[in-house]
Amino acid sequence: MNSENQNWIPNLIRQYRFENGEMTQQVLADTVGVSRQTIISLEAGRYNPSLMLAYRIARAFDLFIEDVFMLEDVEKKRS
């Protein structure tokens, strides 16, 4: 994960891809309407998603945004 980007929101995208039949980055990208490179960047911590993209990713796994993106971890680091 990216320790250089202090504003990066940790996520569990990779974990949920593997829990969903080892879904590939390309399949997830196609499902949510972005490029595979966007998924790679999200997983690597180089990019934070828009609210709409975060929602679409969560829905792809039938989860809530809070299940996939760990905003609480960011808030704790700022305290």
Q: Round to whole Å and give the CA distance between 46 and 41.
A: 5
75: pLDDT confidence band, cut at 50, 70 and 90? low
Global pTM reads 0.84
pLDDT value at residue 8 = 86
Note whether 5 and 62 are within 8 A (CB).
Answer: no
73: pLDDT strictly greater than 70: no
pLDDT per residue over 5-56, tens digit each? 678 899 999 999 999 999 999 999 999 999 999 999 999 999 999 999 999 9
pLDDT at 3 over 60: no
The alpha carbons of the chain give a radius of gyration, in whole angstroms, of 12
Between 25-32 and 36-44, two packed helices, what is the crossing angle to 10 degrees? 110
